[in-house]
Structures are given as structure tokens and as C-alpha cells.
Amino acid sequence: MTSTDNTVVAPWGKWDKISLQLILVGVSCYALFVLAFSTVLIVQSLVSGDRLLSLPVDQPLPAEADTGTATLLDGRLESARVYVTDLTPATTALIDIGFIVGVLTQVVVAASFVYLAFRLLRRRPFMKSLTWTFVVAGAVLLLGSLISQVLSGFGSWLVAAELGSTPDGDSFWFWSFTVDPAPLGFGFALMLVGSAFEYAQKLSRETEGLV
């Protein structure tokens, strides 16, 4: 452990400490809830063989969508929640693996903030472990969210195909999926936070040398 690891910051005020404790408890409960709830969903899906997912569509709105006093100029349906069964093993594997990777990604990111809150409460934020925690969490979020979205997207393609859809555009189900860039950007932000902790460690070390 380096001298920077032993650096203790000034004591927290009463309300600052309470806020950190609430953050620690809240993020811990969130991580445990996501893990427990997702485990229940996966077990239920494996036992029943049914899968609940969202499939893209490109269909006009029904007539019931325009029965009020306002005038509906245009609109189309872009997605639908479906509950399907009798899928092939390859399709269910893609859907399940994509879901599991997404859940584990959320848990890892939440755990990084739990560790940060814990270190802040102990007044020891300048630690090499915090740098690596956020660098790894950022990389996990970046890769995990991308892998989860790609697997889930290909899984939805296979589900659409098994429902009778074809990629020619004449079927009810629309063969497409998009990648949400927000988790990717957040992953780079977490790695930047890790770099900030590294800089803070070096700055603390230089400051200690001047005292």
C-alpha cells in the first residue's frame, strides 16, 4: 500500500455522512434487487420455456387511435411486447445470454458506486483500487451493454423469423434493431472517473511531499 493509500481526508459533516450512507444503502439495495429479480425471471423462463421481449414493427395506427376531437396527422407503431414460446434452443440462448449479460453489467456498475461510497465514508478516497474499479466498471459497461444489445437484437430477428417474418419488408414484424449509445458513453465516462482518481492520487502524493 502506497502512502497515497493511507491519505485520510477531513471528517465529513453530519448530513454529508448521512447522504453517503443513504447512497451506499440505496445502490446496494438496487444491485441486490436487480440480481434477485432477474434471477427469478430467468428461472421462470427456463422452466416454462416462454420468453417476453420487444419486437420492432412498422405498422399504421389502428382506427381507434383517432376518435377524439384532435386530428391525428400521422403515426405508426414501432415496437410490440410479445410473449412467445416453442422457440428453438439457439434463439432462446441468444435472448437469455443477452439478458444475463445486461443484468451482470448493471450489477458491476452498481457495485463500483457501492465501493466508492464505502471508501468515502472511511475517508480514504485516494486509493489505486478505486482507479481500477472505475476503469474496469467502465469497460464492463461499454462491452457488456454492446454485447447485450447485439445478442438481444439478433435474438429478436430469430424470433421474428420463427413467427413467420421474412426480411423482404412485407411481413408484420420488421427486421431491425438499434444500439443505444447512452450506455457506451457512460462507460467512457466511468473510465474517465477512474483517470480522475489516478490524477488525484498523484496530486495528493506531490502535496504530501511539499509538507
Domains of the chain, residue spans: 11-61+75-210
Residues ≥6 apart with Cβ < 8 Å to 50: 83, 84, 85
Residue 55 near residue 80 (C-beta atoms within 8 A): yes
**Buried b or exposed e, range 144-180, using 16+ CB within 10 angstroms:** bbbebbebbbbbbbbbbbeeebeeeeebebbbebeee
DSSP annotation of 3 reads G
- In this prediction, the residues of the chain whose per-residue pLDDT falls under 50 are 1-4, 210-211
**Alpha carbons 91 and 77: distance in angstroms, whole number:** 24
What integer pLDDT is reported at residue 206 of this predicted model? 60
Per residue in 133-155, pLDDT (tens digit) is 889 999 999 999 999 999 998 99
